[in-house]
């Protein structure tokens, strides 16, 4: 109930802002030109969430934050009129897929992609985001609800490390964002006509929790690295062969693991590694020619 009330508040604000941005003026013009065009209504019911379009400025900022390029495959989950996949193709040259449950809305999105001249790059799937496969996406965009983001979270966390996820307005529970878009705008649903509203950005982290055997550290034949992980944050213990142990703290940026530790001479060092399944290929920030390998024990 409370969530529903909050959503109505949010959507009311979004509605005003979208009008302020003039987005619907252009839609109205299209509708007049073609009487047969399906005309959706803001806040109309959807399977799991109503339809409200992301303001234009925020669409662009979300895609810029995700650093979308022509090499990307962008999936918008709950695509509405297709504006996010269309922009991803038109401005950033990406291939893009929108998944939309409402068949009329999906058709409208296909028409918009055609009109925008990006039908060759944009595919609109009529389907349910909880059933369609989007595992090959390199970027996932969302404008859903926190409850739906949380339901998608395990699937997102199992995607290839480095996959970028960007959400309009709604967060991902304990998985803190790597970056907040428009942080100056207040909390969820507060809209600024100048910027659109807040967005949240995450990079799917590699999985590093466990026990690792590390070779190649200068002066240390074999070290043991024990890591715990909370999403993109990790910490644990690094033990040198002679049982000297120290706490280490690190961060994951997709598949890249950065850890700070003290070397055999008690000098602070930064370990930078690329996680590839059960192996990490690493070097030291200060000495990139120092090559280290960590192998996962369990």
Ligand X SMILES: C[S@@+](CC[C@H](N)C(=O)[O-])C[C@H]1O[C@@H](n2cnc3c(N)ncnc32)[C@H](O)[C@@H]1O
Q: Which residues bind ligand X (CB under 6 A)?
A: 46-49, 51-54, 76, 78-80, 83-84, 99-102, 105, 128-130, 143, 168
Task: Compute the least distance from the CB of residue 152 to ligand X, in Å.
Answer: 10
Query: In angstroms, what is the C-alpha Rg of the chain?
Result: 23
Task: Compute the least distance from the CB of residue 128 to ligand X, in Å.
Answer: 4
Q: Which is nearer to ligand X, 62 or 259 (CB)?
A: 62
Task: Compute the least distance from the CB of residue 102 to ligand X, in Å.
Answer: 4
Task: Compute the least distance from the CB of residue 249 to ligand X, in Å.
Answer: 36
Q: Which is nearer to ligand X, 109 or 220 (CB)?
A: 109
Task: Compute the least distance from the CB of residue 71 to ligand X, in Å.
Answer: 22
Task: Compute the least distance from the CB of residue 224 to ligand X, in Å.
Answer: 46
Cβ(211)–Cβ(226) under 8 Å? yes
The SS3 of residue 105 is helix
Pairing between strand 222-230 and 245-253? unpaired
Q: Which is nearer to ligand X, 38 or 130 (CB)?
A: 130
Q: How far apart are CA 58 and CA 64, in angstroms?
A: 10
- 208-211, long-range: CB < 8 A, 24+ apart: 208/234, 208/252, 208/257, 208/275, 208/280, 209/234, 210/296, 210/297, 210/298, 211/296, 211/297, 211/298
The SS3 of residue 272 is strand
Q: How many CA atoms lie within 13 A of 220 on its CB side?
A: 26
Cβ(131)–Cβ(156) under 8 Å? no
Q: Which is nearer to ligand X, 46 or 210 (CB)?
A: 46
The SS3 of residue 60 is helix
Task: Compute the least distance from the CB of residue 169 to ligand X, in Å.
Answer: 9
Q: Which is nearer to ligand X, 77 or 280 (CB)?
A: 77
Q: Which is nearer to ligand X, 128 or 274 (CB)?
A: 128
| Chain residue at closest Cβ approach to ligand X | 78
Q: Which is nearer to ligand X, 62 or 272 (CB)?
A: 62
Task: Compute the least distance from the CB of residue 277 to ligand X, in Å.
Answer: 32
**65 φ/ψ sector (left φ>0, alpha ψ -120 to 50, else beta):** alpha
Q: How far apart are CA 190 and CA 214, in angstroms?
A: 48
- Give the DSSP H or E segment for 215: strand 210-215
Q: Which is nearer to ligand X, 75 or 212 (CB)?
A: 75
Which backbone phi and psi does 152 adopt, to 5 degrees? -80, -20
């Amino acid at each position: 109930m409370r969530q529903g009330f909050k959503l109505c508040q949010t959507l009311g604000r979004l509605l005003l802002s979208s009008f302020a941005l003039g987005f619907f003026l252009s839609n109205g013009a299209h509708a007049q030109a073609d009487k047969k065009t399906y005309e959706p209504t803001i806040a109309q019911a959807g399977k799991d969430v109503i339809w409200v379009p992301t303001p234009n400025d925020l669409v662009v900022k979300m895609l810029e934050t995700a650093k979308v390029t022509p090499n990307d495959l962008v999936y918008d989950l709950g695509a509405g009129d297709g504006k996010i996949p269309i922009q991803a193709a038109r401005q950033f040259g990406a291939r893009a897929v929108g998944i939309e449950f409402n068949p009329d809305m999906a058709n409208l999105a296909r028409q918009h992609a055609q009109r925008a001249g990006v039908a060759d790059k944009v595919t609109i799937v009529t389907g349910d985001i909880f059933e369609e496969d989007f595992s090959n996406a390199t970027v996932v965009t969302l404008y859903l609800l926190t409850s739906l983001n949380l339901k998608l979270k395990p699937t997102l966390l199992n995607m290839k490390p480095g996959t970028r996820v960007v959400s309009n307005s709604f967060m991902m529970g304990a998985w803190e964002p790597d970056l907040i878009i428009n942080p100056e705008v207040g909390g969820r649903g507060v809209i600024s006509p100048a910027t659109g509203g807040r967005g949240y950005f995450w990079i799917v982290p590699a999985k590093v929790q466990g026990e690792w055997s590390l070779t190649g550290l200068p002066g240390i034949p074999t070290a043991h690295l024990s890591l715990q992980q909370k999403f993109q944050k990790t910490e644990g213990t690094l033990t040198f062969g002679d049982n000297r142990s120290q706490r280490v703290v690190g961060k994951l940026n997709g598949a890249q693991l950065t850890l700070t530790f003290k070397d055999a001479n008690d000098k602070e060092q930064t370990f930078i590694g690329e996680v590839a399944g059960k192996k990490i290929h690493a070097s030291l920030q200060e000495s990139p020619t120092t090559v280290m390998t960590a192998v996962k024990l369990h």
